Structure formats: C-alpha cells, structure tokens
Structure 1
Amino acid sequence: MPVEQRPVCLVVEDEARNLMNAMTIAEECDFDVIQAVNAEDALKLLEARTDIRVVFTDVHLPGSVDGLSMARTVRERWPDIHILVASGKVDIDPALMPSRGVFLPKPYEPDMLEATLRTFMAMDASQTPTAQS
C-alpha cells in the first residue's frame, strides 16, 4: 500500500524564532515544511516544486519584494495554493491582500495558526477525488 505524501508548507520568514515556531506548528499539523528567508528564494522554490500546498509568509522580508507582493504573485501564478500572511502591522489594507488569502496579526496564537492550516488541509481533502478500487 503506497504511503500518502504529506502536503508541503513553505514558510517565508526572516526572524529565526518566528520561523522555528511556524515550522513546528506546521509539522504538528502533518505538513512537510520547507523554508525561505526572502520572497526571491520562496518564488524559486515554488517554480521548482509542484507539491507546495500552503505559503505562510511574513509581510516584512529582506530584499526587493515584500511578503504581500510575493503573496499576490503566488495567487496569480499558482491559484490553488493557500496563502497565509502574518504581520505585526495590524492595519493592512484588505485590498492589498491576495484573493482568498488569510491574514494573521502578530503575535498570533499558535492555536490560530494550527486551526488555519487544518482548515486548508480539510479544504484540499474535500476537493480530492476518491480513489477507485
């Protein structure tokens, strides 16, 4: 019997503590987790892989592209990927968020991140056709 592949969550965060916390929570939600510290590296990973189901990004990232711009690019190029955006700036203009993107204000409760990731998994499971025997 083949082992089902776990969904992949790409965490884009430049602060080590926040990165480790997000990765731990995603792993506890049965995701395989990969990481990037800036938007440019995240986009390269997305171009190279087809198994990423969730992108969880901070808004403020080093480099020329911020997390919101990257999230909008992800939505345009990979419309089926779930997008989760976090920031300590709680007054983000909803018009800047990608469609169907979820915003978590920092500091977020681990339970909120876990619930959001589990919701994403449930959405994918409900859209996956049942294998025929």
Structure 2
Amino acid sequence: MTATVLLVEDEEMLRVLLSEALSLIDLEIVCCRSADEAMITLEQAHPFSLVITDICMPGTLDGIELAEKIWHRWPHLPVIISSGNRVIRREKLPDNASFLRKPWSLEQLHQIVLHHLASE
C-alpha cells in the first residue's frame, strides 16, 4: 500500500517540485495551498501517513498553527515543518515531527520523509 502525504505549500512552483520529488519514492500526494485548506482536507479525507507544511502561508493559520492542530487532533500523525525564514529547535517539536530548513536537497527530503514513514 502506498503512503499518502498531505503537502501544504502556497508557492506553486515549490508545490509542484515537492510533489514530483515525493512521487519519486512512490508516494501518493494530496496538495493544499494553505493551512486552512489543509485542515478541511484532513477533516474530510484523513487518514494521511504524513503532513509536510511550510510555515509562512496565506490564510488564518500558518504552518506551525496547522501542526499544533494536527498534534492535538491526530497525535500520531507525523508532521514535517519546512521554512527558509524561520528555524524551529528540535526540542520544541513532538517526537513524530521534524524541521526541514530550506533550501534542502532531494536526498535530505527523501531521508526525512522515509524516516517518518518507517516509524508508522
């Protein structure tokens, strides 16, 4: 069974790049343009195997607020938070979460995603 990843990224070019990069490791990708859209998608279509979210996005929620809502509602759902502008220290994250600093390499992306999927 293929894992399904919810990808939350407002920048179209990066969303397409991430989606293509993740499909290289045989993942099904569902894309959202905002954290608000992601919450609706999670409510309607959960279960997902993993959520990857940018921090800075349009709408009422940013990526950190989205992650906090996910951890409250689905505590076992892993979340990867990514940003080129902010840094989140590891000790501030739950065990099933990671921070991926932009710019990242394809190898870094694949490693962190596979790490979280192996922990399911």
Match of 1:33 among 17, 25, 29: 29
Query: Root-mean-square deviation (CA), in Å?
Result: 1.6
Cα distance 1:111–1:77, how it changes in 2: closer, same or farther (>3 A)?
Answer: same
Q: Is the 8 A contact 1:9 1:33 kept in 2?
A: yes
Q: Summarize the alignment of residues 1-133 of structure 1 with structure 2, pairs less than 5 Å apart.
A: 5-92=1-88, 97-100=92-95, 101-124=97-120
CA offsets 1:58-104 (integer angstroms, 9 cap, x no match): 00000111001101111110111110000012433557x54121001
Shift in Å, 1:114: 0.5
Instruction: Say which is worse superposed, 48-57 or 58-67, in terms of deviation.
Output: 48-57
CA contact (8 A) 2:7 2:52 kept: yes
TM-score, normalising length: structure 1: 0.82
Counting aligned pairs with the same residue, the percent is 25
Whole-Å Cα distance in 2 between the matches of residues 91 and 49 of structure 1?
30
Secondary structure, in 3 states, of the residue corresponding to 1:52?
A: coil
Tell me the distance in 1 between the aligned counterparts of 2:6 and 2:84: 20
Cα contact 1:7–1:51 (8 A) shared by 2: no
- Assess if the C-alpha contact under 8 Å between 1:82 and 1:120 holds in 2: yes
Structure 1 residue 21: Cα displacement: 1.4
8 Å Cα contact 1:53-1:81 kept in structure 2: yes
Bigger Rg, which one: 1
Secondary structure of the equivalent of 1:11?
Answer: strand
Number of residues of Structure 1 aligned to a counterpart in Structure 2: 119
Distance in structure 2 (CA, Å) of the matches to 1:54 and 1:41 = 16
